[in-house]
Amino acid sequence: MKQGRTLLELGRELQRQRLNRQDFLADTRTLEVESTPYSSTLHLTLDGKTHGFQIGELAHQQIASRLNIPYRYYQKMQEEAPDLLDRNVNTWLEQKPERRMIRVLDGKVRAFLSDRYRRLDNLELCATVLPVIKEMNGAQIESCEVTPTHLYIKVVNRRVKAEVKIGDIVQAGFVVSNSEVGLGSLRVEPLVFRLVCKNGLICKDLAQKKYHVGRQVNASDDSAYELYSEATLAQDDKAFFMKVQDVVRAAVDESKFMLTVNRMRESTQVPLAHDPVKSVELLADKFQLTENERGDILRQLFMGADNSRYGLVNAVTAASKIAKTYERATDLERIGGEILSLPIPRNILPPPTVAAYQSLPEYQMTA
């Protein structure tokens, strides 16, 4: 599992972001984009004063998507004809008015969102879930990170474990993730941690989600407003985070864990349909892997010397530890889970039963 920040470092960064963020709710007719070949600035009028914020890459993508401008064409205009980009964007902001939430961090627009977007901020989320994790017997934060788009907290419970094969022990855990910039819901996903290689596998098909949809902010004029989280939807937020705490408390579900463990056991009996090189090529095409990721997975598959589906899953999760970014490492852990959830071919003999594993003295599972 790829390592990120320490918990102390994470807390310091979230506090820093809290002090340097701004949120605005604005009618698009009060907005104006001004571009050069190297950057774009969003001008916003607030209380009669115009503020300028550099537009980040994700915000560019969200603006293009909202205005139905193909993003490749949007980029071409930005690089080769910035005046044309400004005319396109400003025309549609004016002619199709609506209220949008604009999230700013360190003087840069990081998100261009719906006025119904519910801000579930990372600092509040940590304040909600960390005490619950601390109360869990055997729980330990294995890795955590905040990226430009997501917060991740990956937890392993040392007391809930089982054997996939003799000596190959896995432990139950979960991942809490959140995006402050509109890239998905708040998620709590089951995690399986393999002790022999410290790999993490995320079972996203068993995830629980809470969506960033709230009440529409009512306003009768076209002004821009700066929003303060301390003064908005305080009671709703409290009730929401109480539900999040309940979800986290139930995250290490023994039945879901054993469902995944049994899938892993079955996968040890499923040979790859092709030779390792071809299998990795097909995997790369299906999941749009880069050339470097393809090479890393193939090396891990050869090193593991296991040409079964289980070997391929482990090769992918092992490659996640050397991924370029924490974000991509987490994507690879989810891809490992997707491979594991593929149907088992009918001609494959069933693996030994759970009871057979439980009869082995090496097997342990403690709730």
Q: Examine the pLDDT at 201 and tell me if it is beyond 80.
A: yes
Q: Examine the pLDDT at 106 and tell me if it is beyond 90.
A: yes
Range of the domain at 58: 19-114
Q: Verify that 243 and 334 share a domain, yes or no.
A: no
> Which stretches of 2-56 are DSSP H helices?
7-19
Cα distance between residue 23 and residue 224, in whole Å:
10
Q: Is residue 179 part of a domain?
A: yes
Q: Verify that 99 and 167 share a domain, yes or no.
A: no
Q: 28, 8, 16, 180: which is closest to 93 by C-alpha? A: 28
Residues 6+ apart with CB under 8 A from 22: 103, 104, 105, 226
Q: Supply the pLDDT for residue 366.
A: 38
Q: Is residue 180 part of a domain?
A: yes
Q: Of the candidates 114, 147, 162, which is a domain's last residue?
A: 114
User: Contacts from 229-235 at CB under 8 Å and sequence distance 24+?
Assistant: 229/23, 229/119, 229/121, 229/124, 233/118
Q: Verify that 197 and 94 share a domain, yes or no.
A: no
Q: Verify that 36 and 155 share a domain, yes or no.
A: no
pLDDT digits (tens, 9 = 90+) for 45-77: 887 788 999 999 999 999 999 999 999 999 999
Q: No. of H helices and E strands in the chain?
A: 12, 13
φ, ψ at 173 (rounded to 5°) = -165, -165
Q: Of the candidates 225, 252, 279, which is a domain's last residue?
A: 252
Q: Is residue 10 part of a domain?
A: no
Residues 6+ apart with CB under 8 A from 309: 267, 268, 270, 271, 272, 339, 340, 342
Domain count, the chain: 3
In the numeric block, the tokens 């759970």 are attached to: 354
Q: Verify that 241 and 343 share a domain, yes or no.
A: no
pLDDT digits (tens, 9 = 90+) for 268-312: 999 998 999 999 999 999 999 999 999 999 999 999 999 999 999
Q: Of the candidates 57, 89, 114, which is a domain's last residue?
A: 114
Q: Is residue 228 part of a domain?
A: no
Q: What is the DSSP letter of 228?
A: -
pLDDT digits (tens, 9 = 90+) for 156-166: 999 999 999 99
